[in-house]
Structure 1
Amino acid sequence: MSETNVAPIRSQHDDALIAEVRDAMKSESLSQSALSQLTGVGKARLSQWLNGNYKGSVSGVETAIRRWLDSRRANDELEAQMPAGPDWVETPSARAIIAALSFAQMAESVSVVYGGAGVGKTSTIGRYQQQSPNVWVVTATPACAATGPILSRIAQRVGIRASGAAHLTESAIIDRIRDTRGLLIIDEAQHLTARALDQVRQLAEGAGIGLALSGNEIVYSQLTGGNRSIGFAQLFSRIAKRVRLSRPKDGDINAVMDAWQIDDKESRQLCLGIGRRPGALRGLCQTLRLASMFAAAGGASRPSAQHIRDAWQDLGGES
């Protein structure tokens, strides 16, 4: 009896699962590298599995894949339940921030926006960037507090590669943004050292663009107080507009309530109490979003005072 060629036996793959994953990758524009990070499955194993020729433990790979798909479905369901709400609310404080940013860009000067957390600085900066050309937002962190790291981060934001040496990176950034009538915004600027802040100032001046520094109270106090103020003399003398936001104004809170269509007196009083706390404007928005979910679950079109109270407590707010 003659021997016949027999195809090698491959591990059993779930073809329907592979097809579902490929559809998810296509709909979300996910690369295999990105999918590997999301699922925890190594790139080589994932590639072989997707092509149906993985020889190892298929069940182990597919368990990880199914876990990721289950998490993805749960997130989609939660997002579907989440009320849309306003993307951004034009509060009086937001208008003051935008005016400072606009002036810095138009006049090629320096503006400083500083104050407590949760009053809308970062979200308003994002809104301004969406609506204005040539606006580059760089968020400072302790890891990029010094001159070299912040220059590298700025270079990345304006679309060029850092050249290694700080002076070469500086020159490349200036060449890229010169004559753009742009605005460089450093958010969380309190993290920058004195030398880094002065470098940012010189960068903006060399390119002939505006500069805005945003952060907490330290941003402004370190420019004016103690012996350190001597090192900031040139920067401080160029500050044309200052906006201090210590806590939300009642006008800010009212604008947020109007955007969420909170009309009844009890609910508005409750929201005012939440929003007047330091940094609580962000907390109020989160509370109203959760309260709207509670309302929708009960068939109501908008949250009641009880929904708001329950949401505030559920988020860990103090009574």
Structure 2
Amino acid sequence: MTAQEARILELHEAFEPDARQKIAAILAEGSVTQAQICRESGVSSGILSPWLQEKYRGDSQAVEAKLRTWLNARERKTQIASVLPVAPPWIETPTAEKITAVLAYAQMAGDVGCIYGGAGMGKTVTLRAYAENNPNVWVVEMHAAGAAVASALEEIAEAVGLRGLPSRAVRLHREIVKRLRGSEGLLIIDEAQHLRTGAIEAIRALHDATGVGLVLCGNESVYARLTGGSREATFAQLFSRLGKRLHLAKPNRADVLHLAAHYGVTDKAEQALLMEIAAKPGALRGVVKALRLAGMFAAGAGATAIGCEHIRAAWVDLGGAA
């Protein structure tokens, strides 16, 4: 054995018990599961279990290296999390109240609604908050891969609890109708701008067949597609069913003040700076990101509150203009 190999073995033997002890302690805390460690570290369960029991006969050094990387990353995340304010899952801003009103009306009346506007206005988090607090509400987030009829219906089937169905539009439609009929529920299609014309019409047909509420939510193009161009020829049936429509152009001052208050920001100078950030692309989402990072900067500087200097530094660090 060479001197270098001996040194590697020495380091290996010194590290191995410590790594096992750390991981065993983390598992005992219950903060993570063994399956989660496997996913995050890249070490399979078939290797991790015997390694923890000192029964692994493979390349233990390679396993240690992966787990050491995972432990170091976990420690860094813990350090950051200790000073980074938690992002609020949902704050009932005035804009959120307007969104909720459309959702509640559509579900109660079995009607069709449309919510459209720019990114970062809190649409998606409000949709999900409403779904968590009301029965038989299904939020389906569409994407480019689910733009066609059958794939869009697959996404809806998954959301309403139907799994393992064949990827045939007729069968999917039939089973979804059975699931939704009589539920007095609400089907929310988020990111609806990704849908092709046929998929939108298929979703409209679900509403017609079941009487459940339906809300299409997305960017400006969602409503534009329903109202512009050859609307009479393509979306006439859906447009004629539209009940409440909500256009979210930009955040208002009250939205920003609600978010600022959550982070303890009450001074007018800081609020004015946050209003400037809210007016930029990203809107309220940008405000939340800036406030979280500003909170970390303030804590690092030993400040008792978030100030303008922390907000400016956070916004620049996030890639915003100085």
In the superposition, the TM-score normalised over structure 1's length comes to 0.89
Q: Which residue of 1 aligns with 2:157?
A: 155
Distance in 2 (CA, whole Å) between partners of 1:92 and 1:77 is: 34
Counterpart selection for 1:226 from 229, 233, 240 = 229
Structure 2 Cα separation of the partners of residues 204 and 103 of structure 1: 15
CA contact (8 A) 1:247 1:279 kept: no
Q: In structure 1, list runs of 5 or more residues that go unmatched.
A: 1-10
Do 1:247 and 1:278's aligned partners in 2 also have CA atoms closer than 8 Å?
no
Do the aligned partners of residues 59 and 278 (structure 1) sit closer, same or farther apart at CA in structure 2, a change above 3 Å counting? closer
Identity of counterpart residues, as a percentage?
Answer: 41
Q: Report if the CA contact (8 A) 1:248-1:279 is conserved.
A: no
Task: Please give the residue correspondences for 1:263-274 in structure 2 after superposition, counting only pairs within 5 Å.
Answer: 263-274=266-277
Query: How far is the alpha carbon of 1:213 from its aligned partner?
Result: 0.8
Unaligned runs of 5+ in 2: 1-11
Residue 304 of structure 2 corresponds to which residue in structure 1?
301
1:108 touches 1:209 (CA, 8 Å); kept in 2? Answer: yes
**Structure 1 position 17 matched with structure 2 position 19:** yes
Q: Map 1:110-129; keep pairs closer than 5 Å.
A: 110-129=112-131
Q: 1:292, 1:303 within 8 Å by CA — same for their partners in 2?
A: yes
**Given the alignment, which residue of 279, 292, 298 partners 2:295?**
292
Please give the alpha-carbon distance, in whole angstroms, between the structure 2 residues aligned to 1:227 and 1:64: 58
Q: Distance in 2 between matches of 1:49 and 1:296?
A: 39
Give 1:169 deviation, angstroms.
1.9
Q: For structure 1, which segment, 107-116 or 245-254, has the greater mean C-alpha deviation from structure 2 after superposition? A: 245-254
Against the structure 1 CA distance between its residues 278 and 45, is the aligned structure 2 distance closer, same or farther, given a 3 Å change threshold?
Answer: closer
Q: How far did 1:177 drift?
A: 2.5
Q: Cα deviations across residues 219-243 of structure 1 (Å, max 9, x unaligned)? A: 1111111125521111111110100
- Give the equivalent residue in structure 2 for 1:6: none
Report the Cα distance in structure 2 between the residues aligned to 1:220 and 1:46, rounded to whole angstroms. 52
Q: TM-score, normalised by structure 2?
A: 0.88
Query: Which residues of 2 match residues 170-185 of structure 1 at below 5 A?
Result: 170-185=173-188
Distance 2:173 2:152 in 1: 10
Q: Would you say the 8 A contact 2:144–2:194 is kept in 1?
A: yes
Aligned to 2:8: none
What is the Cα deviation at residue 85 of structure 1? 5.7
Give, in whole Å, the separation in 2 of the partners of 1:295 and 1:108.
48
Structure 1 ranges of 4+ moved more than 4 A: none
Matched, 1:92 2:107: no
Deviation at 1:28? 4.2
1:54-65 → structure 2 map (5 Å cutoff):
54-65=56-67
Matched, 1:312 2:315: yes
Kept after mapping to 2: 8 A contact 1:249/1:276:
no
Q: Does structure 1 residue 243 correspond to structure 2 residue 271? A: no
**SS in structure 1 at match of 2:294:** helix
1:44 has 2:46 as partner = yes
2:142–2:190 contact (8 Å) kept in structure 1? yes
Amino acid at match of 2:105: F
Structure 1, residues 44-93: CA drift from partner, whole Å, max 9, x if none? 33344344332221100111012112211211221121123644222221
User: In structure 1, what residue type is equivalent to 2:186?
Assistant: L
Cα separation, 1, equivalents of 2:183 and 2:32: 32
1:131 lines up with 2:133 in the alignment = yes
- Report if the CA contact (8 A) 2:256-2:271 is conserved: no
RMSD: 2.2
CA shift at 1:214, angstroms? Answer: 0.7
Aligned residues between the structures = 308
In the alignment, does 2:220 pair up with 1:217? yes
For residues 22 and 175 of structure 1, what CA distance do their matches in structure 2 show? 48
Distance 2:202 2:26 in 1: 45
Q: What displacement does 1:29 show?
A: 5.4
The 8 Å contact of residues 278 and 284 in structure 2, kept in 1 or not, is answered as yes
Partners of 2:250 and 2:146 in 1: how far apart?
28
Alpha-carbon contact 1:112-1:243 (below 8 Å) kept: yes
Please give the alpha-carbon distance, in whole angstroms, between the structure 2 residues aligned to 1:24 and 1:110. 49
